[in-house]
A = this chain, B = another copy of it.
Amino acid sequence: MPDIGHNSGDDTFSVSDEDLAKGHTDNRLRLLIERIERLEEEKKGIGDDIKDVYLEGKAVGYDPKIMRQIVRLRKMNPDDRKEMEAILDLYKAALGLS
């Protein structure tokens, strides 16, 4: 990733030292904020794409809620998933559920 540190852009205007210093600060903050905003836009776009895929699934008969559960389960690593299953069994045994 570029721009780590102190690249505050070029200062072609003639201003007082105070303004210059303040200008640096302002620009630096502004640039950071704007980078974040751009990234959040991208993120939102992808979120929308994801939503579309769920809708597409729904259109061919898959329940989006259950698709989400599947995605969640697949996110777990196999060991964790197996552990969860084991706990489920343990729980049933210990507390008398079917």
Contact = CB atoms under 8 A, between A and B. Distances in A.
Contacts of A53: 32, 35-36, 39
A62 B5 contact: yes
A11 B62 CA distance: 13
Interface of chain A: mostly helix, strand, loop or mixed = helix
Interface residues of A, number: 65
Contacts of A28: 60
Interface of A: 1, 3-8, 11, 13-15, 20, 25-26, 28-30, 32-33, 35-37, 39-40, 42-43, 46-47, 49-50, 52-54, 56-57, 59-63, 66-67, 69-71, 73-74, 78-88, 90-92, 94-95, 97-98
